[in-house]
Chain A
Amino acid sequence: MLKHKLLLSMLFAALLGLGGCATDTATKGDGEGDGTTTGAGKFSPERMKQLLAKRTVYFEFDSSTLVGENLEVVQAHGQHLAANAKTKVTFEGHADERGTREYNLALGERRAQSVERVMRALGVGSDRAKVVSFGEEKPVANGHDESAWRLNRRVEIMY
């Protein structure tokens, strides 16, 4: 299931024209940050700036799949970090309040890992990337409906 989702997101990346790097490194299963990110430069400078301004990506309920602009945000940061090999990064996964706390702790980790995998494929090595999960414990929006929940199902890219 997880692998399936990962492959899907990689395929999605390929469809976006960024796959050359992503699929290659994904099959290697390891992406040491040597700066050879063929994905870099695929976004226009304005678009890159827009994407890098976003540090949080969002997910559907009980999902850890990066879709739409969320994947682009991760890729933009991946490219940026690949070019800045000394920068350490933490992916902090979160869930909304629905469901159980321990399952959500696991779900937050899985979300953070799906960001980490895309980053690794772009050359951000796991030696400088840290995955943590706070599950549903640290909401950014305190409401109890979808308008709050969608903001809380997130991974924060911190560097």
Chain B
Amino acid sequence: MFIISSKWQVASNKSTTTADSASLKRLVLLLLLVTCNLLFAPAARAVLTIEITQSYDGGMPIAIVPFKWDGPAKQAPQDIAGIIESDLLRSGRFNAVPKTNFVSQPHEHKDVVFKDWRISKAEALVIGTLRQIAPGRYIVEFRLYDVFKETQLSGYMYIVEEDSLRRVAHQISDLIYEKLTGEPGAFNTRIAYVVKEGAGKAIKYKLQVADSDGYDAITILTSPEPILSPAWSPDGTRLAYVSLEHRRSTIYIQSVATGDRVKVAEHKGLNGAPAWSPDGSRLALTLSRDGNPEIYVLRLADNSLERLTNHPAIDTEPAWSPDGRQIVFTSDRAGRPNIYRINADGGKVERITVDGEYNARASYSADGTMLALVSAKGGRFHTAVMHLKGSVLQLLTDTSLDESPSFAPNGRIILYATSVQGRGVLASVSSDGRVRQILKSQDGDIREPAWSPFNRQLQPKE
């Protein structure tokens, strides 16, 4: 480790001094895997592009100066500042100060004039450089300032391979977010989703994993039949999903890194809606082996099954509370789909949603205070949140065919699938409804997004 100043520390994937070795090993492993995948599948790195459809100007104004590029190529391999800016804007808690308002463009600490940034009406300032030190090897430096207090809030340096530049940018976004909001960021995470490509007999379904902003997608499964309901294991290493590849529903668990998979449910009838318990030891799922869809809990250690619900209506889409003690699910036992709750060891069923024509597919925020769900009004299906305290249901979107809402692990953004001009796209909305974005794909229908837990943070300590 080499320290530039007392505020600067090094976080390198070659160093073991700044983060615990377990997470470093994981990162190195992931780096290797990403590299391998890119070798074998040199497909587009940017599968999804983000378009902001509703912005909010009440966030904290932050100025992010384009990073200085220092290297032999004319252009920097990645626009680090651009990645950070789009991450922060996506959260709905920041506003970017327009570059036309910049009085100066500092890259180094000595060039920062705080008065310039007060004139630009910035409350926070980010500067940095990207320097190539060897072929394919870079140093990324950044500093975050409080413009009013005229102090540096954070500053780090990373030595990385080209493949990790975007990841470092997301990690810087997380550090800035946490410093300025007091809550962890969730930008250095991944999303899983399903892409449907082609038509007629040539239809292909792909289960893909990408960075949280849609970049660096890898395909972990390709099938001629539909794939549904990918769900991340709490440690972020595996996905459970439903595959119709045998022309009936089957649940698999697949390692994201190795691609190895095991079949965990192939009972008569429906096998659907897998949901991991927070400790990763159990899967809640839907089986209709006893005649109609009921919620079961599968213990992964011994494959034992416990039936939780018992009702002739449809019971499906289970999701665990963060403490693992309760499970919410969708049931039409009162005529229309609504959200219900049951203890994870069974017992009395309690209805959670009261209003609305159709409430389904609920999942908890990490703090357990909110549910994200699909709620219909006037025949239009919106992404909504239910604030459990006070039972307030809030519709967040104006799209009409929303599905599969999934919270970012910090609870601030909800990712969902919707339809725009007849095409399946992923979209995100801040959980206060202020900021909406659409992740546009180059081709195919995209659906069934699932946000990974926190799992790949390389945490430099200050």
Cβ of A131 within 8 Å of any chain B Cβ, yes or no, is yes
Residue of A nearest to B292 (CB): A2
Cβ of A1 within 8 Å of any chain B Cβ, yes or no, is yes
Residues in B neighbouring A107, C-beta threshold 8 A: 314
**B226, B247, B312, B374: the one within 8 Å of A132 (CB):** B247
- A94: min CB distance to chain B, Å: 12
**B317 with A103: CB separation less than 8 A:** yes
Q: What secondary structure prevails in chain A residues at the interface with B?
A: mixed
Residue with the greatest number of chain B CB neighbours at <10 A, chosen from A98, A102, A135: A102
**A98 with B312: CB separation less than 8 A:** no
- B201: min CB distance to chain A, Å: 13
Cβ of B349 within 8 Å of any chain A Cβ, yes or no, is no
0/1 string, A123-139, CB within 8 A of B gives 1: 00000000111110110
Distance in angstroms between the alpha carbons of A97 and B361 in the assembled complex? 15
Interface size on A, residues (CB 8 A): 27
Residue of A nearest to B249 (CB): A105
Residues in B neighbouring A110, C-beta threshold 8 A: 292, 314
**A2, A99, A131, A134: the one within 8 Å of B374 (CB):** A99
Mark out the residues of chain A between 100 and 150 whose CB falls within 8 Å of any chain B CB in the assembled complex: 100-103, 105-107, 109-110, 113, 131-135, 137-138, 142-144
Cβ of B404 within 8 Å of any chain A Cβ, yes or no, is yes
Residues in B neighbouring A156, C-beta threshold 8 A: none
Residues in A neighbouring B270, C-beta threshold 8 A: 105-106, 109, 133
**B272 with A102: CB separation less than 8 A:** yes
3 A-B pairs with the lowest CB-CB distances in the bound complex, closest first: A137-B226, A100-B361, A106-B314
Given known contacts A100-B403, A101-B228, what 9 new A-B pairs fall within 8 Å (CB)? A62-B337, A98-B376, A100-B360, A102-B242, A103-B316, A106-B288, A109-B270, A138-B226, A144-B401
Chain B residues packing against A (C-beta within 8 Å)? 226, 228-229, 242, 244, 247-249, 269-270, 272-273, 286, 288, 292-293, 312-314, 316-317, 330, 332-333, 335-337, 358, 360-361, 374, 376, 379, 381, 401, 403-404, 419, 422, 447-448
Chain A residues packing against B (C-beta within 8 Å)? 1-3, 62, 97-103, 105-107, 109-110, 113, 131-135, 137-138, 142-144
